[in-house]
Structure 1
């Protein structure tokens, strides 16, 4: 996260500047005390993979997701309106940007729309760990990324808003994130 904050130009690399910058210290402390969810997925082989998805298209709710997948293809991301297969690399993590990071970065980082396909010949296993702020925190665009040229693009949100949203509808694609947008581009 420090590298991400530096790439956004809102965190200095030296400790003296870090100490002066309460907002960045707060977000890092909140992430240190944040939520972490571990999700294990097993996708059995499917004789007719064209009839089902392993997981429907969605983006992840939190800041970052680290995914460890076996050698079986299945994860796809949407890139330029096309589905692209993420080739598994042994002993490597796939890192996905989540909705919270898109909101916090005021749209500079984009959450990843992804899905999982099942395989006709082989079962697939993946383990995802999702990182975010504590459930009682509010996620909002960093004030350092908002100005006249870059107005606030997302409304503040929290876990309660997310739960209320998902309990009233089936979430698909990036629906929750879209519901938080103030500016549609």
Structure 2
């Protein structure tokens, strides 16, 4: 969730990155997980401080709970309709 929220809240100032791991057999690797999960009632939308006439909102607001309920219901399997993705909330120019 946090990767999607970052793109929307920052109005595309920060993009999500793909997580890649490279095995190094000669050096230890430490991972420090950080989890951020807003409540199901939270509406995710671009921060008001980042939206103005020169930089309009690039995403429609969406509800975290509904977003995750839809994704979890699909279990990321192929369905007759496309699994909901963050780009579905992108406002096209």
TM-score (ref. length: structure 2): 0.65
2:38 alignment partner in structure 1:
133
Higher share in strand? 1
Extract structure 1 runs of 4+ deviating beyond 3 A.
Answer: 124-127
Matches within 5 A, 1:9-28: none
1 CA distance for matches of 2:16 and 2:35?
13
CA shift in 2, pair 1:125/1:179, >3 Å: farther
1:161 alignment partner in structure 2:
67
2:87 alignment partner in structure 1:
178
Gap runs ≥5 in structure 2: 78-83
Question: SS state of the match for residue 34, structure 2?
Answer: strand
1 CA distance for matches of 2:34 and 2:47?
24
CA shift in 2, pair 1:166/1:181, >3 Å: farther
Question: SS state of the match for residue 130, structure 1?
Answer: coil
Conservation of the 8 A alpha-carbon contact between 1:162 and 1:176? no
The alignment's C-alpha RMSD in Å is 3.1
1:76-100 CA-to-partner distances (Å, cap 9, x unmatched) read: xxxxxxxxxxxxxxxxxxxxxx211
The size of the alignment, in residue pairs, is 85
Matches within 5 A, 1:1-185: 61-62=1-2, 98-116=3-21, 126-157=31-62, 158-168=64-74, 170=76, 176-183=85-92
TM-score (ref. length: structure 1): 0.37
Gap runs ≥5 in structure 1: 1-60, 63-97
